[in-house]
Structure 1
Amino acid sequence: MKVLVTGGAGFIGSHIVDKLIARGDDVVIVDNLSTGDESYIHPEASFYRMNIEDERILEVFERERPQAVIHQAAQSAVPVSVEDPIRDAQINIQGTIRVLEGCRRYGVEKVVYASSAAVYGNPEYLPIDEKHPVRPLSPYGISKYTPEHYLHAYHELYGLRYTIFRYANVYGIRQVAKGEGAVISIFIDRLLKGEDLIIFGDGEQTRDYIYVDDVANANVAALSQADGEVLNLGTGKSTSLNDLVKTLQAVSGKEIQPVYGEERPGDIKYSYFDNRRALERLDWTPAVGLETGLKQTYEYYKECMGR
């Protein structure tokens, strides 16, 4: 199968590309390298450096004629979306429409789309399932949710198959140590530099941390399954920041005394997913536990810093 991966030089996208090529697929990457890294690009993949909102992306579709698209490229920083909501919408909404137009015009059969837990806003109940009300609190949450409607419309109008994933907190190797969802890479980066780990609030706030390898496997599985589904992609387990620090201390062998600061206004206190629908609809289950994933991630960044 020929698969086009937008954001294929990025944190999650590069892992997806690696798995596709390992199973024998022909892969095309579109990435502007704004957050991606050229060193993550698989040597067997075709690469186009461009923005997804650039109309030239239609030329890539015409030339490459992919059978499927895994759409990972996005503006993913909440503060950036608040500061510049127009640019956020240009990338996440208009860029996605540009990708969907390429799919429509050039015969793509299936799209797998990366949405976000940010679409839900403050949880009304836990764990969050796919029936939970959608009330995003930021332009980013809005711009990730809006393309879900376009995917449904393109299916109804043109028969384009799709699967939508709403990601929990994805972590693992190759993640940039910045942004709301990157607390693990930020903690490891500071730990290796001998800097304090800063926790805003009492540390009892919870999240659902899922390892990037599991997310990549789900995306590959969705190419042939779960058509028309909106699925929460997480572990279904709640982990507090305090417990996260304890586990990181165990895998690193370093004594950690976090510094607690004032709780940040607007931060969601408790959040984790009900992932049963993903388990039912996909031939998939999250396989990497938090301790194992943290150890792999810590060793990766330790080696990078050593180099």
Structure 2
Amino acid sequence: MRILMVGATSSLARALIPALSRFAEVLTAGRSNCDIQLDLAAPLDAVARLPQIDVLVNAAASFASSDPADIAAIERINALGTLELCQLCSAAAIPHMVQISSIFTTLPANSPFYSAYALSKRHADELAQLYCDKAGIALTIIRPSQFYGAGPAYRKHQPFLYALIDQVANNQDVSIYGSHDAQRNFIHVEDVARLTARAIEHGLTGNYACTQLHAVRYSDIIKAAASAFDSRSQMVFMRDKPDIPDNICAVDDTLFRLLDSYPEIPIEIGMEKEAAYRKSLT
């Protein structure tokens, strides 16, 4: 099997490539440092340079802000860029496309976490479903929740989580706005990569959530980090500030049941991996 990984320098793709390489040859595509230069912000002209490809995996995404000036740019990359990849599959006779989406596509417009990113990824999924259905291309959509991993590559998209870890690592108490112990659904990137690779290996098609089965509260994260870093840090509520709302999703284990494989890295082990990574740098 030969797989084309688009957005190959993204943090998720870097975890996914080794998982895919167990059973397939992986070619990388992206704006730089890849086997094939491909920029979703520009017209695609990579067809002539493509060898036979069995699966195209789209892990590229723009996380620009929801400022009015950025909305067109994020839609161009995430939605129209995905459509162009569908067209590339047709032109290059690639029979299977895998779209890495986001659980945020399920957010209602009145959610405090709704954004141009969530909307553009929803548009991307719908465009891919429409095109692939009409063109006879097999399609798999994987919708992970917020993922994290060991090292600085994940800080950009989870700045609050890693700022929290920094405080715990430095034996500082963690101040949380309000008095609500907010819930989150974090899944480790190694689980997302392993489960996505397994879905591709088994030729699974369809639209699937990929989330931890149990949400965690901020207090759970701080406790796990404190144990991993041997820290005395505790959580302190700033009760004069507004509460932080929950950001969780409905539990859907369909993907895991079909693959007979479930997430294996709870928050406690995830924090141990981050602590081990930081210790390796000293």
Give the structure-2-normalised TM-score. 0.86
Q: Shift of the alpha carbon at 1:13? A: 0.7
In structure 1, stretches of 5+ residues that fail to align are: 39-45, 125-133
Task: Give the equivalent residue in structure 2 for 1:2.
Answer: 2
Q: Does 1:85 align with 2:63?
A: no
CA distances 1:87-106 after superposition (whole Å, capped 9, x unpaired) = 11111112111211111110
Q: Please give the residue correspondences for 1:192-231 in structure 2 after superposition, counting only pairs within 5 Å.
A: 192=169, 197-202=174-179, 204-223=181-200, 224-227=202-205, 229-231=206-208
Matches within 5 A, 1:1-307: 1-21=1-21, 23-32=22-31, 47-56=35-44, 58-59=45-46, 62-77=49-64, 80-83=65-68, 84-121=70-107, 137-174=114-151, 175-179=153-157, 181-192=158-169, 197-202=174-179, 204-223=181-200, 224-227=202-205, 229-258=206-235, 260=237, 262-263=241-242, 268-304=245-281, 306=282
- Residues 203 and 75 of structure 1, relative CA distance in 2, 3 Å threshold: farther
Q: Quote the offset at 1:64 in angstroms.
A: 3.1
1:67–1:108 Cα contact (<8 Å) kept: yes
Listed one character per residue, the Cα deviations across residues 50-88 of structure 1 (whole Å, up to 9, x for unaligned) are 4223224x31574233210111110135xx133511111
| CA-to-aligned-CA distance 1:251-302 (integer Å, 9 cap, x gap) | 11012144645337xx642414413211222242111222112101222134
- Confirm or deny: 8 A CA contact 2:168 2:229 kept in the other structure: no
- What amino acid is the match of 1:55? P
Superposition deviation, residue 183 in structure 1: 3.9
CA distance in 2, matches of 1:152, 1:110: 12
AA matched with 1:32: R
Equivalent-residue separation in structure 1 for 2:279 and 2:236 (angstroms): 22
With over 3 angstroms needed to count, the CA separation of the structure-2 counterparts of 1:268 and 1:88, relative to structure 1, is: farther
Q: Is the 8 A contact 1:170 1:212 kept in 2?
A: yes
Cα root mean square deviation, aligned: 2.8
Contact in 2 for aligned 1:88/1:143 (Cα 8 Å): yes
Q: In the alignment, is the contact (CA less than 8 A) between 2:165 and 2:222 conserved in 1?
A: no
SS at match of 1:64: coil
Matched AA of 1:216: A
Alpha-carbon contact 2:223-2:234 (below 8 Å) kept: no
| C-alpha displacement of 1:211 | 1.1
CA distance in 2, matches of 1:289, 1:147: 30
Using the size of structure 1 for normalisation, the TM-score is 0.80
SS at match of 2:225: helix
Count of residue pairs brought into register by the alignment: 277
Name the amino acid aligned to 1:13.
A
Q: Give the letter aligned to residue 79 of structure 2.
A: I
1:81 is paired with a residue whose SS is coil
Identity of aligned residues (%): 20
> Residues 185-205 of structure 1: CA distance to partner in whole angstroms, max 9, x if unpaired?
333345446776453333511
Structure 2: stretches of 5+ with no match in the other structure: none
In 2, the alpha carbon distance for the partners of 1:19 and 1:203 equals 38
C-alpha deviation, 1:166, in angstroms? 1.5
Classify 1:214/1:176 alpha carbon distance in 2 versus 1 (closer, same or farther; 3 Å): closer
Counterpart contact for 1:7–1:72, Cα < 8 Å = yes
